Amino acid sequence: MRMLSRNVVAVCAGAALLGAAGCGTGGETTNAPASTQQNIGLGQVDPCTVLTPEELSSLGFEGPGQKQEGISSEPGCAFDSLEFGITISKNEEKSVEEYGKQDSWAKFDQTQVDGRPAATGVSKNATQADVCTALVDAGGGVVLVDVSLLRAKEMDECGEALKIAEKIAPRLPK
């Protein structure tokens, strides 16, 4: 089931980002405190560590995430439970505004998270797949939170993606 959800999220995220140009760098992992992270840029943010172990546990996830490198400009990390999966990734080249201009969205609703541009979106290719992406500007780029429902069909995938983005945004560089 874990592999299935990772594949669903990877395929849907890839489809949602079709046409994304540029090449980001993976950067190095850092365990710097949030105040230091505010000054180092998105390149140093590790998608596998933006949620604390306590936050992961409260969401129903156990253990570390699985690194995702299927889209070279968007290194990420996938976390799976029996109910739903999330993939957190980053793109150092684009912004929420630039993603919003792509013609790959069936729905793209702009908002604010932690005082910065954000959005939730459903890819045209994922409208029946219960997958939603929350995007938030960070460190000169954007962090993406994909939520893919497996059994938790009563869950609002866009609401959950936005809730996770709100948890991590204060720890991301501006």
Q: Could you give the CA distance from residue 86 to residue 89 in angstroms, rounded to a whole number?
A: 10
Q: State which amino acid sits at residue 90.
A: K
Q: Are 157 and 148 in contact (CB under 8 A)?
A: yes
Indicate the average pLDDT of the chain.
81
pLDDT tops 70 at residue 129:
yes
| pLDDT (mean) for 39-61 | 89
* Each residue's pLDDT tens digit, 58-68: 999 987 899 99
| Measured CA angle at 167 (ends 32, 51), to 5 deg | 50
Residue 2, CB half-sphere, CA atoms under 13 Å: how many?
A: 9
- Nearest of 146, 136, 147 to residue 171 by alpha carbon: 136
For residues 89 and 1, the model is more confident at: 89
pLDDT tops 80 at residue 136:
yes
Instruction: Extract the tokens encoding 146.
Output: 């994909």
Q: Edge to edge, what strands does the sheet with 76-80 contain?
A: 66-68, 76-80, 84-91, 141-149, 131-138, 116-123, 105-113
Helices (H), 17-130: 34-37, 53-58, 96-100
Instruction: Write down the pLDDT at residue 93.
Output: 93
CB contact set of 53 (below 8 Å; sequence gap of 6+): none
Q: Are 76 and 88 in contact (CB under 8 A)?
A: yes
Instruction: Write down the pLDDT at residue 164.
Output: 97
Percentage of residues in the chain having pLDDT higher than 90: 61
| pLDDT (mean) for 149-170 | 92
Instruction: Write down the pLDDT at residue 49.
Output: 94
